[in-house]
Structure 1
Amino acid sequence: MADDTPLLEIDDLEKHFEQSTNILDLLLRREPSKIQAVDGVSFTLETNDSIAVIGESGCGKTTLLLTLIGLHDITGGDVVYKGTPMSDFDDADWKEYRSNVQVIFQDPFNSLDPKMTVEESLKEPLKIHDVGNRDERVYQVLEDVELRPPEQYLHRKPMNLSGGEKQRVAIGRALVLEPDIILADEPVSMLDVSTQASVLRMLKDLIDDYDASMIYISHDLSTVSYISETVNVMYLGRIVESAPTEWILDDPKHPYSEALVSAIPIPDPHHDRARTEMSGAPRDPIDLGEGCRFRDRCPKVIPPDGIDVDQEAYREVMAFREALERDDLPLERIRKELDDPGDQEAFAAAIRGEYFSGEMTGENATTVDAALDDVADGDLDAAADRLRDRFESVCENTPLSVEAEADWHVACHQYYDHDRRTKEDHAITTD
């Protein structure tokens, strides 16, 4: 490998799954829905580098990791290892890759074979890859993961180990082949807090000692500073912000990153800070389409030019419109709860009560009232068109990832001039 060749390049990587179809879907020849677990992820891992991928459960982190180790086929894009694309790997390439890319799984209670001793677990990868000096390597790695003296642990089975000891064995198993890359999938999330810090510090020292690089997957931003120099914040399959760790912890730019940082616990019951402005949970990653994927939870969603509307009220309109366009309104249930299911005015009012609490005035209120009347009359398309004409946001377009500052990339509409960007994109297309 040339000195300037990255160790691992993730290039616009996609992993989509097809949702299971039923008999009716087959008869009507409907296209199966796509679960967009990883959707256009790109970053580079250099030699002796440590990168974190952070996000809530369901954002695609673990699917990314399983795709990187070859347990999922790639849907789009590619992974390039030492200059060779994974799509071009032959059997010999895969054997080398799987020897040099090792995984630490999240759950040490299930990732170790309960029937195997510590010695057998550590020797297993050495046997698979036909590596010699097995006794010496096993003793050394047990010393390195601070299971001392090694003789006391060699013949123990997982049931005779604490949670922290199990995870140290799992870390040792990943290191025993002296790999180039460690993929760590939330390696301390199942350990108690008193053990987490010591394991993370040990892991950081070990990847330095073993001259390895790491991709660290976690939902807990508070652990990142122990282990990683760079953070990639992931939301619903996409990277929304990427920067050196301390920069994001000190001054996050994307609204999702801001919410994650504000949720980090502070060990001071008297510390006063603003409450996290993020509610709800990531939606199912099914047929997500275009647009910023955080817009339904974002406290800074951008209204159209010239419209004066409270942010909370605007977010309610956006959420209602999205449910309407996805045919996800519980209209039958709402109508059945009415004293008179045939009363259209009461039906419209009940829908309002279900979805709207904020106050709106003027043309904004008139538009929402008219859309609710359309829904009550059964004309959902007219309601959606009416709301779209009045309230469509730039956030409904997929944001570009721009360099907000040097080495600081953000995929958010707040960080570039849309008129200028549109002109530049048009010039590139027509040149």
Structure 2
Amino acid sequence: MNTHEDVRAAIASLLRIGEPGDGLLKRLVDGIGPVAALAIIMAVGRGETTAHDAVQGLATTGTEAAEHGQMAEAIDRWAVRAGEAETQGNDLDTIARIGGRLVIPEDEEWPRMLDDLGPAAPLGLWVRGEASLSTVLNRAVAVVGARAASSYGTKCASDLAWDLAARGITVVSGGAFGIDAAAHRAAIAREAPTVAFMAGGVDRFYPAANAELFDQILTIGAIVSETAPGMTPMRHRFLLRNRLIAASSQVSVIVEAGWRSGALNTAGHALELSRQVAAFPGSVYSASSTGTHKLVREHEAELVTCSDDVIALMDDDAPALFDAAAAGAASESGNRSSTPDPREVLDEREKICLNALTVSKPLDVGTIASRAGLTIADALNSLTTLDLAGLAERRDTGWVKLHKSRR
């Protein structure tokens, strides 16, 4: 029987072996547990068995992960890093030396809202800072935007973050220059917790020029990353980091963003999760606001100008997707007239399939199955159920998630 610390140690190694958001690794871990998953990968890495034989062994035990056609290839890919996981030393010791910790789903501190990411949910989170994630993310808003922010954008972000912090709402961002830094600084000035999600290891502040800001965040908030200590920020890790920012927040506010801004990627993740997205208006002559205007024009974001607008979005459609406690409280209070949430009766495959859909871009069945880690048949069955539940619908070019149930 694996102990809690055995599981933590295995997840620590898997976070070094795999890349953030690897749905296949998550599927394998969900199927057999992190300790067994690590043992298989390490055995292949040491040449004690092959990935093909490992998958065959999984199939004989009825493990669903073995059904995925790319599992053997994925195990070979992870096995390349297996030696690195052994030679790098103990990441748990490294994080402990700098006063950090590894938070895993079995911990009370684990932020349950991240489970809404389904197959893209993180296996664990490296954390530094005084704040408890489950506590500070209970009511949180992401404030993100352009690195090359204008003075207008910086003031909007600062004012919004200050007002949100004053009302007990945690400000979440990415620690970057521009809008991110302005939001973090305003929350700190208000002596309120703020959370920065990083694309590299939490022992390597990036950008380095914001080191003083990160030190301040540590005293009152938290710095969080999915990547192992010492790992460098890379472009794809920034984009994958954005899904954690979106999932941890009830509303994602895009203050200022150009046409190709990474903040739009955060908005996209929020929309996929049926989270609220908001955007500040800017000058029609400003290139820094072309992205935010696009979100509003295409009805993917609500136009906001102050904290009251954002808080109204937080309270709209309450409870949030991840707020099961609030849903239970509403039921117990005698509110029998409200319509039950159709998501509550979905099975695991249907929930994963729902999370794989987007509200803005129709996806074909093959793409949905790949994103969800399901077979084509399972994806089709799940989509039919979601359609009947009013949670998804088929259009000419594919399937989309409905932001609100048709019921």
Pairwise same-fold verdict (TM > 0.5): no
How does the TM-score come out when normalised to structure 2?
A: 0.25
Please tell me whether Structure 1 or Structure 2 has the larger radius of gyration of its CA atoms.
Answer: 1
> Higher strand share goes to which structure?
1
How does the TM-score come out when normalised to structure 1?
A: 0.24
> Higher helix share goes to which structure?
2
Determine which structure has greater relative contact order: mean sequence separation of CA pairs < 8 Å that are 6+ residues apart, divided by chain length. Answer: 1
